[in-house]
Amino acid sequence: MNGIRTVAVLGAGIMGRGIIANLQQAGYALRLYNRTRARLDGLATPRDTVCATPAEAAEGADAVLSVVADAAASREVWLGRHGALTTMVDGSVGVEISTLSAEWARQWHEAVTARGAGAAVAPVTGSRPGAEAGTLIVFAGGADIVLDRLEPVFSAIGQKVIRMGGIPEAVGFKLVYNMLCGTILVAAAEALSLAESLGLAPAHVTAILSAHGWGAGVATSKGRNMTEAHFTDVECAVGTLSKDLAYALRARPGGAPPLLVSQRAQQQLNRACDEGMADWDMAAVKAVYRAR
């Protein structure tokens, strides 16, 4: 396994569970931590070690992977009182799979390397189905020597690894990627809302949009969920995508053109969160477009 035999995984949420299952299948010895320990019930195998803290999980691990909700959760699992960096040793590797803010990613990189460990980021796309099937696309960032060492780990969880360059480039690209996905999603919700207002049959509209034009991807994956209000099968939560767009907007350098469309999309996602839909599937943003 190219020097990495024991992997700590911090986080067993929507993405983490699938990633853990595929690392198990690849034969890695896992040290698992989740803030809510019960999430690991039925997931950990006899070969795995369920740990009480991130520090315990990182102890003795060749690589430590974090798959958590946001920058605040990432900060806690790495730098908290019982954070992973308190027990990581020289020669181990810290990997952030979470979608992070640009500012926290810089701080995280500095903290990991100050500890004497290698550092890489590996944000992914593919949502829950990709995590479960091991078909994620990995946007890897870090020194080549570190990424070379991690290649078998990435191959266990994804079907393709795209090297973006350094950590800032990989983090920045994932924010660009999710910003585009978020704006397309909100635009689809708005378009379907207009179709309903015009008296068009939702199923017919969704079928056509799924087969033709630039909106085919989002119409195929989320059109039916939107028109039939099926939001409980969560592939990516509204709150997660809203957070990602907020990070992207904050990453805009001073003097760069304003991101007006993305600002509006993030407002709509945030509105859905305010209306109690933060933990629902991202298709639930359609519900904010109600007749007035």
Question: Per-residue confidence at 263, pLDDT binned at 50, 70, 90?
Answer: very high
Please give the model's pTM, rounded to 2 decimal places.
0.95
pLDDT tens profile 27-56: 999 999 999 999 999 999 999 999 999 999
Determine the pLDDT at residue 1: 42
Determine the pLDDT at residue 291: 59
Q: Using the predicted structure, report yes or no on whether residue 292 has a pLDDT greater than 90.
A: no
Q: What's the whole-number mean pLDDT along residues 222-245? A: 97
User: Residue 154: CB partners within 8 Å, gap ≥ 6?
Assistant: 122, 138, 140, 161
Q: What's the whole-number mean pLDDT along residues 252-262? A: 97
Q: How many helices (H) and strands (E) does the chain have?
A: 12, 9
Closest CA to 132 of 218, 49, 14, 8: 14
Question: Per-residue confidence at 3, pLDDT binned at 50, 70, 90?
Answer: confident
Q: What's the whole-number mean pLDDT along residues 5-21? A: 97
Helix residue ranges per DSSP H, the chain: 14-25, 54-58, 71-79, 102-114, 127-133, 144-157, 167-197, 202-211, 216-218, 224-228, 238-251, 260-272
